[in-house]
């Protein structure tokens, strides 16, 4: 009897999760439908209008989708040459050594820093440098946001990749060494092919994080609602436009922002799902 | 013996990779120290008793102080109180629900329902925090007709829950099955075996998971912006708008009169988060069974 | 086998199958004499552990296992009773020592009571812990460190602690699933001596793949092969003159 109550309790607590998940999709869709009905789904996604004047309101998500894609893509490109060495450092070269633990702790702590502090640091410390180097005219913009975003996702990509690099069986590596391969060749010919799908999924999950990152980007991207023309200009991402404008929004604008939220949610959900499925596969090989 | 003319090139490449990996890895560590240094240098002067016990000054007082060249009065006590209140409320619900759900997922791991729930947990964990903010705005703020600390707690609850579930599930999964068998073989009730044998055996890592979850959400700003909103006075009422330390940093960032307070608040938040992180690591190491 | 005077356990035509098509135990019938040690031998995969676990209803932890037939403990069919009640009267010791890692030695002995929600007075608890630990010859080794965790003990000590934990509930019968297979020879010897002493108090049914162990400690032996009970006899008689060819092959080492 008590056992039945306990098992029921377990199941009830597990039901909370699908309820929240389903509720998110339901509520976002319901509240976004105003914007989709008014502008049409594809029109909303493909339009770059953002007119807030009452009576002539027109909203489109394209600049923000583009902004998100650009920042995320750029952040990924900047992140790889740092996270991959870190993964090799902790997972292969200095595996099990004290120095590897130190570096792993450093990256863990990097992952723990709240995004608003990354934003502050980017704004007050990096922006002047970017201006000085003439990388972007105002210091803030897509490039700056992507750079800090890259630092933020390095820990995720690195620690997960490192796990997969560690999982490569020692006898495979020994076989290659036995044939006279150098360490670099073992890494390229044995470790990367074996751990490849795991490392790939680590980057997919890192993308998932970068897509939804809000505060840092909001503080650094410059917040303009036009299509970004170059990487040096300012822009907005899906997350940052919501952070900036949700507070004072109502009516059609609110619905449009929620619609952008829904799109963001779906994109991250799909990316994360792919990443998780790949990881589970990679772990079971 | 066959001579390999490439040997020199190969060894050079090998050494190049080694040096490259070391250099790039070292470079990666720089931002941590740069951020720590920046926040510490600019923030330590502000930290003091009054900073931790007084509420935010209003913009006028701050302006007057700035014009006279005096330090800005006031502190972040309203944020600290708000953070604690909301975090505590969220944790009180999220910890038991998360642990029970984690037990469920590990116990019925072969079941389709548990598998689905497990995937949705991953999904929630990856959901951008700003979306959580929107959803709690729709679910709590709109029906309650106003921003409130309660709404903020709900947002933090949704953020914490998947983290706690994951750590419970992972820990319970690696416990040896013989432990459960031994308990049941003694004629123990299922729930007693679960709560008195399995849960204590995994308590260390679950506690680590909870600490990490807390350190994750304590710095969250986005989900609180449209839920708890923020407030300038110390408030213990969850039914009214409430401030939080990260929210205050955001306010200071946007208010030119209060910008001097940014770094003190950041130093406080950063210290809190990093200490929680290090503590969690410590415990994970110590309580390993 | 005949000449069972006072059977404590009667296994009647028991078959056990996994997933409905793999039969691990086929139509086994046997009685176990009170206050004896009965060994179950056989090559791995012969169903000996499966049979043993069914007596404690441990098979129910896994799905798709069906048991047919009857298992009578003191004349009552345990398959028809509540598993929790059964397990309280049937102790079980596993291959690997598994003391509860978060409990002290003291609490480990009393775990059966805690897990059943039975509370005892402090006085009774102290008595019980001492009695059980003395029973397994562990008292003198651990009486100073009763509040330490059970996992600090050596493997042999841990296994004796696990036996004490089972004995604390005063079971009618003690099931042992290769209890010494994870232990070194000296610890094994310790446990074997202990079992011989314990049979005055409790009936022991032990699965072992170690023939000499069966010869050393058991009064009667069963030999199982491919799920069937091939031979069941006095241990001495079985080792001296096995009736079945398969038993002979096994006992002479011609079968894994």
| Closest partner CB to B200 (pick from C88, C102, C115) | C102
The reply to whether residue C61 touches residue B181, judged by beta carbons under 8 angstroms, is yes
Chain C residue with Cα closest to B176? C98
Concatenated DSSP letters for C9-67?
Answer: EEEEEEEEEETTTEEEEEEEEEEEETT-EEEEE-STTSSHHHHHHHHTTGGGGSTTEEE
Contact call for B192 and C94, based on CB within 8 A: no
- A contact chains, 3+ CB pairs < 8 A: B
pLDDT at A253: 92
Give how far Cα B15 sits from Cα of A83, A92, A185, Å.
19, 15, 11
Residue C35's pLDDT is what?
92
Residue C163 in contact with partner chain B when CB distance is under 8 A:
no
Using a CB–CB cutoff of 8 Å, tell me whether B111 touches chain C: no
Q: Which of C246, C11, A106 is nearest to B32 (CA)?
A: A106
- In chain C, what residues touch B186 (CB-CB under 8 Å)? 87-88, 91, 111-112, 115-116, 165-166, 169
User: Chains contacting C with at least 3 CB pairs below 8 Å?
Assistant: B
Report the residue from B176, B189, B289 with minimal CB separation from C115.
Answer: B189
* H or E stretch at A163: helix A142-167
Query: Strand ranges (DSSP E) for chain C?
Result: 7-18, 22-33, 37-41, 65-73, 76-77, 90-93, 173-177, 203-207, 220-225, 228-234
User: Does ipTM exceed 0.95?
Assistant: no
Looking at the complex, does the CB of residue B181 fall below 8 Å from at least one CB of chain C?
Answer: yes
- Helix A62-88 crosses helix A251-284 at what angle (to 10 degrees)? 30
What rounded mean pLDDT belongs to chain C? 89
CB contact under 8 A, A113 and B133: no
Q: Does C62 touch chain B (CB under 8 A)?
A: no
Interface test with C, best of B185, B194, B207, B288 (most C CBs within 10 A): B185
Query: Does any domain span residue A57?
Result: no
pLDDT of residue B5: 63
Count Cβ neighbours within 10 Å for each residue of C64-79 and write b for 16 or more, e otherwise: ebebebbbbbeeeebb
Task: Please state whether beta strands C203-207 and C173-177 pair in parallel, antiparallel, or not at all (unpaired).
Answer: parallel
- State the Cα–Cα distance between residues C203 and C216, nearest whole angstrom: 16
- A154 and A245 in one domain? yes
Between C75 and A24, whose confidence is greater?
A24
Question: Is C100 within 8 Å of B182 (Cβ atoms)?
Answer: yes
What range defines the domain where residue A102 resides? Answer: 62-284
What is the domain partition of chain B in residue ranges?
77-286
Instruction: Indicate whether A173 and A245 sit together in one domain.
Output: yes
Out of B178, B187, B189, closest to residue C98 by CB: B178
Residue ranges of C 219-238 with Cβ closer than 8 A to chain B: none
- The token pair at B62 is 């701050």
Q: Does A242 touch chain B (CB under 8 A)?
A: yes
Evaluate if pTM is beyond 0.90.
no
Cβ of residue B219 closer than 8 Å to a chain A Cβ? yes
Residues A113 and A39 both lie in one domain:
no
CB contact under 8 A, A2 and B219: no
Q: In terms of CATH architecture, what is B77-286? A: Orthogonal Bundle (1.10)
| Interface contact B134-A120, CB threshold 8 A | no
Q: Which element (helix H / strand E) includes A81? A: helix A62-88
Q: Select from A240, A226, A251 the least CA-distant residue to A62.
A: A226
Confidence label for B151 from pLDDT (cuts 50, 70 and 90):
very high
Query: For chain A, what is the domain count?
Result: 2
Region class of B248: left (phi > 0), else alpha (psi between -120 and 50), else beta: alpha
Q: For residue B2, is pLDDT > 60?
A: no
| pLDDT tens sequence across B155-210 | 999 999 999 999 999 999 988 888 888 998 888 888 989 988 899 888 889 999 99
User: Where residue C163 falls among pLDDT bands split at 50, 70, 90?
Assistant: very high
Which residues of chain A are under the pLDDT cut of 70?
Answer: 285
CA angle C93, B168, B156 (to 5 degrees): 160
The rounded distance, in Å, linking the Cα atoms of B231 and B242 is 5
What value does the mean pLDDT take over residues B95-104? 95
**Residue A56 counted as domain residue:** no
Q: Is B110 exposed, middle or buried (0-12, 13-18, 19+ CB in 10 A)?
A: exposed
Same domain, A147 and A273: yes
> Can you give the pLDDT at residue B150?
96
Q: How far is B15 from chain A (nearest CA, A)?
A: 8
Task: Please write the tens of the pLDDT for every residue from B19-71.
Answer: 999 999 999 999 999 999 999 999 888 888 888 888 888 777 777 877 777 77
Give the 3-state secondary structure of residue A270. helix
Q: Does B195 touch chain C (CB under 8 A)?
A: no
> With pLDDT > 90 as the criterion, what percentage of chain C qualifies?
47
Q: Do B275 and B118 form a contact (C-beta atoms < 8 A)?
A: no
The encoded tokens of residue B116 equal 């689905």
pLDDT at A273: 93
Contact pairs from chain B to chain C, CB under 8 Å: 84
Closest listed residue to residue B202, CA positions, set B229, B172, B177, B182: B172
pLDDT of the residue at A138: 82
Reference C8, options C33, C36, C40; nearest CA is C33
What's residue B288's pLDDT? 65
Q: Which of C208, C217, C254, C255 is nearest to C235 (CA)?
A: C217
Which residue in chain B is spatially nearest to C89 when comparing CA positions?
B187
Question: A-chain residues within 8 Å CB-CB of B105?
Answer: 14
* Domains by residue range for chain C, with CATH: 7-251 (3.40.50.300)
Q: Do B189 and C114 touch (CB under 8 A)?
A: no
Query: Do A141 and A75 have their domain in common?
Result: yes
**pLDDT value for C209:** 84
Which of B130, B268, B274 is the mutation pick for testing A, counting most A CBs within 10 A? B130
- Give the C-alpha separation, B252 to B262, whole Å: 6
Chain A residues close to B3, C-beta within 8 Å: none
Report how far residue C227's alpha carbon sits from residue C245's, in angstroms, rounded to the nearest whole number.
16
C111 and B197 within 8 Å at the Cβ level: the answer is: yes
Distance from CA of C168 to the nearest CA of B (A): 10
Q: How far is it, in rounded angstroms, from Cα B200 to Cα B204?
A: 8
Q: Would you call B287 an interface residue with chain A, using a CB distance cutoff of 8 Å?
A: no
Mean pLDDT of B70-84: 88
The tens digit of pLDDT for each residue in C221-247 reads 999 999 999 999 999 999 998 999 999
Expressed in angstroms, the distance from the first to the final Cα of chain C is 25
B60 vs B55, B56, B241, CA distance in Å? 14, 11, 22
Q: How many other C-beta atoms are found inside a 10 Å radius of the C-beta of residue A191? A: 22
d(C-alpha B231, C-alpha B252), whole Å: 12
The helix or strand, by DSSP H or E, that contains position A147, with its residue range, turns out to be helix A142-167
pLDDT for the residue numbered A45: 92
Residue C256 has pLDDT above 70, yes or no: no
CA distances from A5 to A1, B98, B114 (A): 6, 17, 18
Whether the pLDDT of residue C107 is over 80: the answer is yes
Identify the H or E element spanning A130.
helix A127-132
Contact C102 B179 (CB under 8 A): no
User: Do residue A100 and residue A12 come from a single domain?
Assistant: no
First to last CA, chain A: 41
C129 pLDDT above the threshold of 90: yes
Q: Which of B176, B196, B200 sits opposite C115 (nearest CB)?
A: B196
Q: How many helices (H) and strands (E) does chain A have?
A: 13, 2
Burial (Cβ within 10 Å: 0-12, 13-18, ≥19) of residue A224: middle
């Amino acid at each position: 009897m008590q056992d039945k109550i306990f098992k029921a309790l377990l199941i009830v607590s597990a039901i909370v999760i699908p309820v929240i998940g389903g509720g998110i999709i339901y509520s976002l869709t319901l509240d976004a439908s105003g914007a989709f009905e008014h502008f049409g789904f594809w029109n909303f996604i493909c339009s770059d209008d953002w007119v807030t004047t009452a009576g002539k309101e027109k909203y489109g998500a394209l600049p923000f989708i583009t902004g998100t894609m650009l920042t995320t893509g750029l952040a990924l490109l900047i992140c790889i040459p740092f996270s991959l060495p870190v993964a090799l450092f902790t997972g292969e070269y200095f595996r099990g050594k004290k120095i590897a633990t130190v570096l792993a702790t450093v990256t863990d702590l990097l992952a723990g820093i709240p995004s608003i502090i990354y934003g502050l640091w980017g704004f007050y410390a990096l922006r002047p440098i970017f201006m000085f180097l003439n990388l972007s005219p105002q210091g803030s913009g897509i490039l700056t946001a992507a750079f800090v975003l890259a630092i933020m996702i390095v820990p995720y990509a690195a620690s997960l990749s490192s796990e997969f690099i560690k999982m490569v069986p020692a006898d495979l590596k020994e076989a290659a060494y036995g044939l006279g391969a150098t360490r670099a060749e073992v890494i390229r010919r044995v470790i990367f092919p074996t751990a490849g799908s795991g490392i790939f999924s680590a980057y997919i999950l890192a993308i998932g994080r970068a897509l939804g990152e809000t505060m840092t980007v909001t503080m650094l991207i410059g917040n303009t609602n036009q299509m970004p023309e170059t990487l040096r200009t300012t822009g907005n991402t899906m997350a940052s436009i919501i952070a900036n404008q949700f507070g004072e929004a109502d009516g059609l604008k609110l619905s449009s922002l929620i619609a952008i939220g829904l799109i963001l949610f779906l994109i991250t959900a799909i990316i994360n799902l792919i990443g998780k499925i790949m990881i589970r596969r990679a772990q079971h090989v | 013996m066959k001579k390999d003319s490439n040997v020199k090139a190969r060894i050079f490449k090998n050494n190049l990779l080694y040096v490259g990996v070391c250099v790039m890895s070292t470079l990666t560590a720089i931002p941590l120290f740069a951020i720590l240094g920046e926040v510490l240098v600019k923030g330590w002067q502000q930290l003091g008793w009054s900073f931790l016990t007084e509420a935010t000054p209003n913009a006028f007082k701050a302006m007057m102080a700035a014009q006279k060249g005096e330090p800005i009065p006031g502190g972040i006590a309203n944020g600290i109180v708000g953070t604690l209140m909301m975090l505590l409320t969220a944790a009180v619900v999220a910890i038991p629900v998360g642990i029970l759900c984690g037990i469920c997922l590990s116990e019925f791991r072969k079941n389709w329902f548990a598998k689905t729930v497990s995937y949705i947990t991953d999904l929630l964990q990856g959901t951008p925090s700003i979306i959580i903010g929107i959803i709690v705005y729709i679910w709590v703020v709109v029906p309650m007709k106003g921003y409130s600390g309660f709404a903020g707690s709900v947002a933090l609850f949704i953020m914490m829950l998947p983290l706690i579930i994951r750590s419970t599930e992972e820990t319970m999964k690696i416990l040896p099955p013989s432990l459960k068998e031994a308990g049941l073989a003694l004629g123990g009730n299922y729930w007693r075996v679960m709560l008195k044998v399995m849960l204590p055996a995994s308590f260390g890592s679950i506690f680590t998971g909870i600490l990490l979850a807390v350190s994750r959400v304590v710095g969250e700003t986005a989900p609180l912006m449209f839920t708890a909103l923020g407030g300038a006075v110390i408030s213990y009422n969850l039914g009214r708008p409430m401030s939080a330390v990260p929210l205050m940093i955001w306010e200071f960032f946007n208010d030119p009169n209060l910008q001097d307070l940014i770094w003190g608040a950041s130093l406080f938040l950063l210290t809190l988060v990093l200490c929680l992180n290090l503590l969690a690591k410590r415990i994970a190491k110590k309580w390993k069974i | 086998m005949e000449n069972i005077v006072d059977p404590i356990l009667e296994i009647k035509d028991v078959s056990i199958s996994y997933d409905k098509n793999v039969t691990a135990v086929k139509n086994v019938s046997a009685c176990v004499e009170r206050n004896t040690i009965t060994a179950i031998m056989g090559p791995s995969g012969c169903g000996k552990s499966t049979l043993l676990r069914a007596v404690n209803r441990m098979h129910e932890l896994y799905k798709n296992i069906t048991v047919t037939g009857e298992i009578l403990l003191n004349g009552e069919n345990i398959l028809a009773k509540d598993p929790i009640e059964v397990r309280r009267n049937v102790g079980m010791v596993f291959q690997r020592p598994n003391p509860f890692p978060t409990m002290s030695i003291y609490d480990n002995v009393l775990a059966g009571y805690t897990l059943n929600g039975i509370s005892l007075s402090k006085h009774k608890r102290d008595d019980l812990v001492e009695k059980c630990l003395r029973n397994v010859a562990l008292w003198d080794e651990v009486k100073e460190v009763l509040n330490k965790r059970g996992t600090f003990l050596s493997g042999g000590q841990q296994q004796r602690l696990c036996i004490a934990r089972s004995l604390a509930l005063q079971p009618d019968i003690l099931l042992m699933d290769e209890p010494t297979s994870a232990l070194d020879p000296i610890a094994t010897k310790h446990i074997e001596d202990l079992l011989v002493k314990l049979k005055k108090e409790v009936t022991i049914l032990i699965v072992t793949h170690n023939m000499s162990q069966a010869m050393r400690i058991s009064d009667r032996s069963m030999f199982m092969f491919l799920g069937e009970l091939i031979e069941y006899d006095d241990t001495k008689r079985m080792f001296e003159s096995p009736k079945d060819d398969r038993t002979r092959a096994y006992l002479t080492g011609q079968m894994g």
